[in-house]
Amino acid sequence: EAGVAQSPRYKIIEKRQSVAFWCNPISGHATLYWYQQILGQGPKLLIQFQNNGVVDDSQLPKDRFSAERLKGVDSTLKIQPAKLEDSAVYLCASSLDVYGQAPMNTEAFFGQGTRLTVV
């Protein structure tokens, strides 16, 4: 079974530039998450999709971050304009449809992440 695919693996941009990350979840997984992991911290949820609808985007800085999941499969996360403090690893994860499931079926599976450096 193929895992969660993310690209690019690394990206270096100047502040005020824009950047986009792509994620392809595990086939059949209805729930998709984007997490931000700053060095020395645990991953922090940015946004959660259920199919192509947004479930939770309360921690997404909407003045500069946007995300979409067209057709309920692939997803993109965009930052425009980037700030120095956006330097982090951006992790995409997916899980089975969390609604109506026992907790044991809700484990999230992560991609390798995109390491973003803003200079």
Partner 1 sequence: DQQVKQNSPSLSVQEGRISILNCDYTNSMFDYFLWYKKYPAEGPTFLISISSIKDKNEDGRFTVFLNKSAKHLSLHIVPSQPGDSAVYFCAASAANSGYALNFGKGTSLLVTP
Q: Which residues bind partner 1 (CB under 8 A)?
A: 4, 31, 33, 35, 40-45, 48, 50, 55-56, 91, 93, 95, 98-99, 103-104, 106-113
State in angstroms the smallest separation of the CB of 39 from partner 1: 11
By C-beta, is 70 or 102 nearer to partner 1? 102
Q: How far is CA 3 from the centre of its chain?
A: 15
State in angstroms the smallest separation of the CB of 81 from partner 1: 27
The string over 72-103, giving b where at least 16 C-beta atoms fall within 10 Å of a residue's C-beta and e elsewhere, is ebebebebeebeeebbbbbbbbbbbebeeeee
State in angstroms the smallest separation of the CB of 41 from partner 1: 6
CA trace torsion 89, 72, 25, 111 (10° rounding): 10
State in angstroms the smallest separation of the CB of 91 from partner 1: 6
By C-beta, is 81 or 109 nearer to partner 1? 109
- Three-state secondary-structure class, residue 75: strand
By C-beta, is 14 or 56 nearer to partner 1? 56
Q: What are φ and ψ of residue 104, in 5° steps?
A: -65, -10
By C-beta, is 80 or 101 nearer to partner 1? 101
